[in-house]
Structure formats: structure tokens, C-alpha cells
Structure 1
């Protein structure tokens, strides 16, 4: 049973010492890793993943009101709404064709979310996504199974968008 009172590191520490160092909070009670292989070149997958304004169609169905303050840049801030929650987030890693990671906070929980891309030949891309979430009592309203479902949905949506986009 995860510690319901674990708050995790402060958000700035999570951003600088975890996300920017290509890791999630392994001590968080809610965390998941999912992966898929997409029949599309890494350039196409990256283009969709980094097009944050269109995540509702290419990554996270249900996401609304995405606002980018400075574009998709390291330390660039953005907000988005999903299921009534507004997440305030900040990009930690923006490595074109390789990794997109951010930290954010919503409902009192702090999260680190990473997408890592790996070309498989010239025509396929392996995508690994992982996320950790921590906040006092957050485990009472959200859990690892729900996070796994969110990550699965993101990968399925990304895969569908990448594989249906003309070359």
C-alpha cells in the first residue's frame, strides 16, 4: 500500500533534479511505465508529440484549453484542462526526436511525465512513456491503475495519429 501522506519533493526540485535528469520520482505511490512501437518514423512521431496545442487529437483525448506561454522549450510553461482539473506545467526536457518531459501540479499532486522516442530502423519508433504522481491523500482519488489507463490511451492515440498521417 502506497504511503497516502507522501508529498514528494518540492515541484522545483522535481523539475530540476528528477525530470531534467531523465527520471521520475520512484518513491511516489502512483507511477507507471508503458511502451509501444509505432509504424512511423521518429520524425513524424516527434512532430505530433511536440505539437502540444493539438494534444487533444494526437495524445490526450479530453484535454482542453491548452495554453503555451513560450512554446515547447526547456522551462517553458503551459496549462491544460482535463476532467475538470487545470494542470500548471513546465517542460523539463525538450530533445527533438528523443525526449519530451515535463513537471506539473493539479489537485495538489505533483507529476513528472516523460516520453522517450527511439528509432527502430527508418520506419518505426519505439515510444516509452512514464509518469509519477505524489501528493498527500491524492491516492484516495487516483491510483496506479488509472494512471496506466491514461498512459495506454495516450500511446494508442499517438500511434493512431502517427500511423494515419501521410508520409
Structure 2
């Protein structure tokens, strides 16, 4: 099963990192590889929550949360004909604050071909996601997630 894993150390407590990671609706403000993120249900992320993501050079996808440990991790899945993509987000305590680990695996009959076609782009996007979350969290290490700035440095909604 093709996939990748990327970790980044963030100088902030895990609860602060989690607040930014779990606030998927604000990802377009914080992560340049996400053009649009629309929650298809209300409230905090829970198992079964769905989010529509639009990313440059990729097909629009609906991601469904399949596993969640509040404050620590969530896994979500997106399916298209012949391919299932699973994305994991894990926040753990670290001596320097927190460690965010992002994983992505591709399965299904067309996984090999899909991975061959998107491996380089996907790796770049996952690395950018980690770096962007780190930047957003460290910009306001003690403030509420609603105050963390987007890429432009603005904290407006």
C-alpha cells in the first residue's frame, strides 16, 4: 500500500496544536495547498464528520472521519473509483512542545497508478501542511485557535 509519513516538531503544547489541526474549516487560511474546506455537518469533528476539500491540481474530494481521539488524533478517508486515500493527523507531546505526524496511504485496485501519478505532489502537499500548521500555531502559541493567523498574517475570519 503506497503512502508517506511526515512529522514536524512545534514549539507549543499539544492542545494548541490540536486546536489548529482540528479546525479544518480554517485550513484554506492557514495551508496554501487547500483552496476550500467546507464542513458538511455541524459541531466539532467526530467519527462520521464529513469535509469537502478542494486542492490545487487535485480532484475535489469529500473526507469522512473514521477514527478520532479528541485532542490527539483523527483519521479520515476519501474514496473515488478504484482508490481509497486515508489521511492521519496525530498530535503528541514532545520535549520541545509537540510533534505533529501526518500520514497518507492509498489503497484499492488503482492505488499503484494513482500513487505513481501523484506521489511528488502529494509529498509536497503533506510537507507544506505540516510546515503551515507549525507556522500558524507558533505565531500565537498561547491564544485561541480562532486568533491564529492565516498565511497573510491576518487573524480575521
Indicate whether the TM-score tops 0.5: yes
Partners of 1:126 and 1:57 in 2: CA distance: 22
Q: Does 1:163 align with 2:135?
A: no
Aligned-pair CA distance for 1:91: 0.5
Q: In the alignment, which of 79, 90, 98 is matched to residue 125 of structure 1? A: 98
Partners of 2:107 and 2:118 in 1: CA distance: 10
Partners of 1:63 and 1:165 in 2: CA distance: 23
Greater than 2 Å deviation, 4+ residue runs: 57-63, 105-109
RMSD between aligned alpha carbons? 2.1
Aligned-pair CA distance for 1:96: 2.1
Q: Kindly tell me: are residues 150 and 106 of structure 1, through their superposed partners in 2, closer, same or farther at Cα, counting changes over 3 Å?
A: farther
Q: TM (normalized to structure 2)?
A: 0.76
Q: Which runs of 5+ in 1 are unaligned?
A: 1-27
Q: In the alignment, which of 66, 74, 80 is matched to residue 38 of structure 2? A: 66
Q: Does 1:44 align with 2:16?
A: yes
Aligned residues: 137
Q: TM (normalized to structure 1)?
A: 0.72
